[in-house]
């Protein structure tokens, strides 16, 4: 299955959340891979702590593959090449976890042509053959990478594909997420222009809320009562706003709680981080685990 991670704004935690979903899915025993289509700032190597690809690779990454300069993009086996001890040995029963980095010094494509779509189609088809989950991390906003993904998936109707739109739990982010999907030149417009059926594509899009502060959470006990009341009310307002804009509960796949670790350092949260050093919250891992299951759970994707 192909899964595309997209967000309208930067700083939504799209890359770190989708990386963690991929990691959880691998721990659940599935073969997964992660494609860094954020060509302007290839940083995903840093999240997986692969030093050779912290800012993209120099050996020929996705950018150069799509440009037709190399026959195959570099692949990195995270279980072998990560610098983090917790990631460097594959737990029993875990699946493959492979990273396809962008190129160091790469840039967004100014445009794309038919040959590039063809190469993208071949790549997706080949990865689908090998991996249960192919996560493609697209850059923020309406990028050519996203259009390329839409054009390529339109030519692969037999391969199941899903879109995750990441947004933070704020007024601006909710409006922006809705705009990215339904607005002019949004995903649905662009998808239709590239040969997707509008309603079918809409059924394949779900929202993921990130850095969500739960007004009822135990950590908020220290807040003043006025602050708590305000949080609850504002949360309700946001929920109303979200549902008016089709970003509400029914179209939401999941939410990730605010976790200081993710705010300060974009990283994979391992069980060691939760149970050993206890720097991360168990709720965060539960959220990732659940998202990793829901992505492939057809019940969560029934037509709205």
Partner 1 sequence: MLIMGEVRTGLLQNSAEVPESDLSSVLGLLAGERVRISRRPILHALSPDLLTGVDCLLPSAAQAKIRGVGTVVSRCSITGGRVVQSSSYVRVTKAETGHRLPWSHYLARPGVIEVLGKAAAADLADGFLAFGLPGEHLDVGSISDRLMDTVQAAESLDRASPFRSTQTRLRWVAASGEPGVRFVLGEGVERRVRITYEGEFSTAVLDLCEDLALHDWLLTTLLVIVERARIGAAPRAEVSARLAPAVDALLHLWMPGARIHPSLAPLWESLELAPGFTRQWQSLVERVRDQFAVNTLALLLRETNPV
Applying CB under 8 A, the residues found at the interface with partner 1 are 29, 31, 71, 92-93, 95, 122, 125-126, 128-132, 156, 158-159
Query: Structure tokens of 211?
Result: 């850095």
Give whichever of 98 and 146 is closer to partner 1, judged by the CB atom: 98
Give whichever of 70 and 86 is closer to partner 1, judged by the CB atom: 70
The helix-helix angle for 282-294 and 14-27 (nearest 10°) equals 80
Give whichever of 217 and 296 is closer to partner 1, judged by the CB atom: 296
- In terms of Cβ atoms closer than 10 Å to its own Cβ (0-12, 13-18, 19+), residue 265 is exposed
Give whichever of 80 and 200 is closer to partner 1, judged by the CB atom: 80
Give min distance, CB of 64 to partner 1, in A.
Answer: 13
The pairing of strands 32-37 and 2-7 is: unpaired
Q: DSSP strand E in the chain: where? A: 2-7, 32-37, 76-77, 97-100, 133-138, 161-168, 205-212, 252-257
The pairing of strands 133-138 and 2-7 is: parallel
Give min distance, CB of 129 to partner 1, in A.
Answer: 6
Give whichever of 159 and 261 is closer to partner 1, judged by the CB atom: 159
Give min distance, CB of 146 to partner 1, in A.
Answer: 23
Give whichever of 31 and 235 is closer to partner 1, judged by the CB atom: 31
Task: Show Cβ contacts of residue 263 under 8 Å, excluding neighbours closer than 6 positions.
Answer: 211
Give min distance, CB of 124 to partner 1, in A.
Answer: 11
Pairwise CA distance, residues 44 & 57, whole Å = 11
Give min distance, CB of 50 to partner 1, in A.
Answer: 17
Pairwise CA distance, residues 210 & 17, whole Å = 8
Pairwise CA distance, residues 86 & 32, whole Å = 18
Q: Check: CB of residue 31 under 8 Å from CB of residue 189.
A: no
Give min distance, CB of 107 to partner 1, in A.
Answer: 23
Pairwise CA distance, residues 201 & 289, whole Å = 25
Give whichever of 1 and 217 is closer to partner 1, judged by the CB atom: 1
Give min distance, CB of 280 to partner 1, in A.
Answer: 27
């Amino acid at each position: 299955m192909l899964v595309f991670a997209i967000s309208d704004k930067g700083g939504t935690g799209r890359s770190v959340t989708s990386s963690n979903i991929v990691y959880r899915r691998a721990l659940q025993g599935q073969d997964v891979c992660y494609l860094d289509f954020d060509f302007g700032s290839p940083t995903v190597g840093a999240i997986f702590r692969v030093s050779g690809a912290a800012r993209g690779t120099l050996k020929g990454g996705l950018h150069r593959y799509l440009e037709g300069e190399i026959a195959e993009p570099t692949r990195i086996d995270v279980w072998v090449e990560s610098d983090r001890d917790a990631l460097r040995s594959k737990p029993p029963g875990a699946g493959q976890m492979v990273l396809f980095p962008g190129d160091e010094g790469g840039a967004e494509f100014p445009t794309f042509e038919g040959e590039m779509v063809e190469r993208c189609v071949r790549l997706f088809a080949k990865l689908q053959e090998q991996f249960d989950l192919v996560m493609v991390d697209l850059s923020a906003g309406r990028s050519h990478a996203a259009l390329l993904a839409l054009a390529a998936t339109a030519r692969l109707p037999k391969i199941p594909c899903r879109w995750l739109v990441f947004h933070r739990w704020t007024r601006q982010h909710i409006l922006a997420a809705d705009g990215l999907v339904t607005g002019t030149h949004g995903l649905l417009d662009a998808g239709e222009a590239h040969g997707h059926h509008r309603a079918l594509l809409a059924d394949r899009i779900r929202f993921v809320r990130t850095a969500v502060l739960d007004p009822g959470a135990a950590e908020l006990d220290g807040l003043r009562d006025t602050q708590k009341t305000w949080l609850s009310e504002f949360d309700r307002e946001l929920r109303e706003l979200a549902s008016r804009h089709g970003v509400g509960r029914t179209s939401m796949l999941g939410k990730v709680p605010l976790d200081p670790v993710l705010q300060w350092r974009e990283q994979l949260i391992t069980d060691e981080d939760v149970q050993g050093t206890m720097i991360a919250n168990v709720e965060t891992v539960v959220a990732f685990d659940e998202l990793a299951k829901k992505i492939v759970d057809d019940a969560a994707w029934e037509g709205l």
